[in-house]
Amino acid sequence: MTLEERRETPEERRETPRRKGSPMVRAALAAYLLLIVYASWFPFTGWRSTGVEPWAFLNLTLPRYWTGFDVAVNVIGYVPLGMLIVPAMYPKVRGAWAVLLTAVLGMLLSGTMEAVQTYLPSRVPSNLDFVTNSLGCFAGAFLGVAGARSYLNESRLYQLRQRWFAAHGGQGLVLLALWPLAQIYPQGYLFGHGQVLPIMSEWLSAWLNTSIDLVAMLRPGAAMSVEQYWLSETIITACGMSGAVLTMLCMLRRGAPRLPLVAAMLGAALVMKALASSLLFTPDNAWVWITPGAQGGFLIGLIMLAGLAFAPQVAQRRLAIVTLLLSLVVVNTIPANPYFVSTLQGWVQGKFLNFNGAAQFLSLLWPFLALWFLLLRSHTLNRQ
């Protein structure tokens, strides 16, 4: 065997830095781009042309009404974008070139978002938004360059990811990180993501200029009782929670701390739900999501997960698919919860309107992304 043919020992591989990009970072970048697009163009209705050029917002006149809050949100919102673009290009583009290219890409994206808003009656393109968004991406690029190599190849977090999660889990980790964020948007049922039929009913009604209720078409009959709502919420909560956690469990290697990771995932989701409710609702309704149905579903979900935490990986993946599908079926065939609808009157959107649009998009899309991930990947893992 020649010297060139000799394989590196494990010790040599550990000592040699790996110069390659991260699929997880690229998946996170794709997800963040989708959120930016949705937040910038929400609610996607009333497209029209007013005869104004789409680049007219680039004039030198500042908007009449703006606040420090608006500036801060615009800058902060694009900082993660710059931090993600830099490692997504690593190692092909690094250093000053990475900062420069990221800044240009950020300006192009921000300019496109503002230009398209010219055709949306509910949105107002702004040169101040363009500048602050571009500055946020530029600042994120500096942060990304400063830490790209360490958090991609050498950090403790990266080592734990390699030790605990399967090689195919990069995109899955992004998906899991989005699940707590999906709790931000107010939902009629705890963990009741993917409720698309009401949204589709609104779109079809506006398009056809007639009242269309797809939920009523699928579920004709008398109104549901309180007990039936509670039972449905129990199923939705238990299945939505179990499907999300099982998605994580089927990516774990042998020796990974399953119970602490499950607790951290559920704890992050509940904390995010509580914080969002405190901000979006009046204080009296901050805990409105803690209902008898949600409590029962959460308990049943814990029992299911306790029995499946150490089940074969194939069984976990299949049950994750089944529970997510069942949750989608129930949440899309149950009428609007009248007890939750009344609390929406206390929903304070205000300055968070665009953010709420992105949160709604994430809440609707998450279970479908999870199913795509579970069905697309083989999830065959040689546990160690």
Given this model, what pLDDT does residue 151 score? Answer: 57
Q: Please tell me the distance from the alpha carbon of residue 302 to that of residue 308, in angstroms, as a whole number.
A: 10
Q: Please tell me the distance from the alpha carbon of residue 380 to that of residue 200, in angstroms, as a whole number.
A: 36
140: exposed, middle or buried (Cβ count in 10 Å: 0-12, 13-18, 19+): buried
Q: What SS3 state is found at 282? A: coil
Per-residue pLDDT of 82-141, as tens digits, reads 888 888 887 788 788 888 999 999 999 999 988 888 888 777 788 888 889 999 999 988
Per-residue pLDDT of 227-245, as tens digits, reads 778 888 899 999 999 999 9
Beta-carbon neighbour count of residue 196 at 10 Å?
16
Among 135, 65, 133, 49, CA closest to 99: 135
CB 102 within 8 A of CB 141: yes
**Residue 117 is encoded by which pair of tokens?**
């808003």
Per-residue pLDDT of 313-355, as tens digits, reads 889 999 999 999 999 999 888 877 665 655 555 444 444 445 6
Given this model, what pLDDT does residue 380 score? Answer: 43
Among 177, 105, 180, 178, CA closest to 141: 105
Q: What is the DSSP letter of 192?
A: -
**Residue 374 is encoded by which pair of tokens?**
């579970």
Per-residue pLDDT of 22-80, as tens digits, reads 677 787 788 788 878 877 887 677 778 777 788 887 876 766 666 676 778 788 888 88
Q: Please tell me the distance from the alpha carbon of residue 107 to that of residue 101, in angstroms, as a whole number.
A: 10
Q: Please tell me the distance from the alpha carbon of residue 179 to that of residue 244, in angstroms, as a whole number.
A: 8
> With pLDDT > 90 as the criterion, what percentage of the chain qualifies?
20
| Sign of the four-CA dihedral 148, 177, 363, 284 | negative
Instruction: Give residue 285's pLDDT band: very low, low, confident or very high (50, 70, 90).
Output: low
